[in-house]
Structure 1
């Protein structure tokens, strides 16, 4: 019974996770990290493949926070830049995820992010929660 009550109290975090299209390895790996996170309910409003500015704006409007996978930035610069620009226009906090296995992140993204984290699921969840508590 206690577990059920606890589950009912969990907040569902509304996320927009940067994407470039269906099947991207970095995106799928990140989603798997969130799935494995304990006691963290979330919904991704990002829809891979729906990448025109109007579609992206609608996706980001419905999110509380924007997660940028910085490993996608060099491969899909224009798309990720559009996602970042929309997040800033909509005044959404941005959390930057380092490229898997690397420490370096693009300086222009690091300047605007609420925080930068690696791929540790506990650190990711904490950074999301802390960024939203600041609001």
Structure 2
């Protein structure tokens, strides 16, 4: 039990040019009590460094609402996560229930925007250190 409590989760959160959904998600994780995490995503760093951002994470979060705005960018991030065999957690589009089928079929888990549920799903799916 002590190991889980002291664990720092390395997370990659999908991002596109529009940071609204990304920032809302960051606020939720930052507000969570007793959940230590580090964000290895570097928005604005360009797509050329995505592999470096994803290769060492415990879990990849895909904000599926971004898919309709920039499908090629989201698909690229998913493909890199698959290349490194990272678990994909898909977050439903903000304020909606439907997840794009392409993404739903690849997800280890799908979650809404409830912070305790997000934390639980991350802990359940994260790779072991």
TM over 0.5: yes
Q: Which runs of 5+ in 2 are unaligned?
A: none
Which aligned segments of 4 or more residues in structure 1 are displaced greater than 6 angstroms? none
* Pairing 1:1-135 to 2, within 5 Å after superposition: 9-21=5-17, 24-53=19-48, 55-132=49-126
Q: Which runs of 5+ in 1 are unaligned?
A: 1-5
**TM-score, scaled relative to structure 1:** 0.87
Indicate the SS of the match to 1:109: helix
Which of the two has higher C-alpha Rg?
A: 1
- 8 Å CA contact 2:11–2:40 kept in 1: the answer is yes
The alpha carbon displacement at 1:94 in A equals: 0.3
Indicate the SS of the match to 2:68: coil
RMSD of equivalent CA atoms: 1.8
**TM-score, scaled relative to structure 2:** 0.91
Alignment size in residue pairs: 126
